[in-house]
Copies of this chain bind each other. A is one copy, B any other.
Amino acid sequence: MLGLLSAGPASGYDLLKTFELSLENVWPATQSQLYAELGRLAKEGLVRVAAEGPRGRKEYEITEEGRAELRHWLVEVPPTLTRRSDMLLRVFFLDQVGADAARGYLERLAERAVHEHDQLRGIREFVISQGDDALRLYGDIALEWGLRLTAAQRDWAEWAAGRVGALEHEKAGQAGAE
């Protein structure tokens, strides 16, 4: 939220739309959370109500303290390593469902990755055509990560499905020979 407000004042409702539209893929947030958090940030002096509009609209702006906190978080607080992937957790126990179903699971992962990749390509087309320089640069860098991640996932899932398939045939061959 400090990041979004650093680009200019906005209401809780505005921020909500931004989260839903552009930030949804990296940091989903709900309406309740947003309003509650705005209250907290205001109490801490990191944001302030700059103007009030119709329908009870409150336009928030970031304060100097808020900007300092944002900069601090950006470069000094170490990013957390992305742990906890249920997609990967399942892989550990895939022997419980047999090679055939396991291969199916991995193939579906590959398909999903292709689908996500295509969606991101669509978004990039759209983003390239607008926005200011800084946002275009960093937005594009983030998008590129999405593209590389989904491509890697597709490749890996296909490779893994192949390995499971090879084991499947090996076993079948042995069974036939016995």
Contacts and interface: CB of A to CB of B under 8 A. Distances in A.
A80 B94 CA distance: 17
A109 B89 CA distance: 24
Contact of A156 (B80, B83, B148): B148
A20 interface: no
A108 to B, nearest CB: 8
Interface residues of A, number: 60
A9 interface: no
A143 to B, nearest CB: 10
A25 B3 CA distance: 29
A91 B156 contact: no
A87 B75 CA distance: 11
Contacts of A129: none
A172 to B, nearest CB: 15
A71 B96 contact: yes
Given A75-B101, A82-B85, A88-B142, 12 more contacts: A25-B83, A27-B85, A71-B97, A74-B101, A74-B105, A82-B82, A91-B138, A92-B139, A141-B164, A144-B156, A144-B160, A148-B155
